[in-house]
Amino acid sequence: MNAEEPGEPTPPASRARSDGRTLLAIAGPVLFTPPAMALADRDFSVSGVPAVVVYVFLAWFVGILLTRWLARSRREGR
């Protein structure tokens, strides 16, 4: 684990990862607010499953995948 000096400028790749983590931390919960959920509350279903349920699980799954990708890129130093 490389510790950076306090006065050193942050490398661009590190800033991009930090921005991605911040965006995910803000966008993730916003996707589950009532106004966002209302957008998915339609009168159709996917293989018998209501659209809002599909939306919840897809948003949750994509959030997990993005978190894993950001954590892995951070650990590998990309």
pLDDT in tens, 44-75: 898 999 999 999 999 999 888 888 888 876 66
For residue 21, the enclosing domain spans: 12-76
**Which positions ≥6 away from 10 have C-beta within 8 Å?**
4, 18
Residue 12: pLDDT above 70?
no
Residue 2: pLDDT above 70?
no
Integer CA distances (angstroms), 46 to 49, 55, 56, 70, in order: 5, 10, 13, 30
> Is residue 63 in some structural domain?
yes
> Is residue 41 in some structural domain?
yes
> Is residue 1 in some structural domain?
no
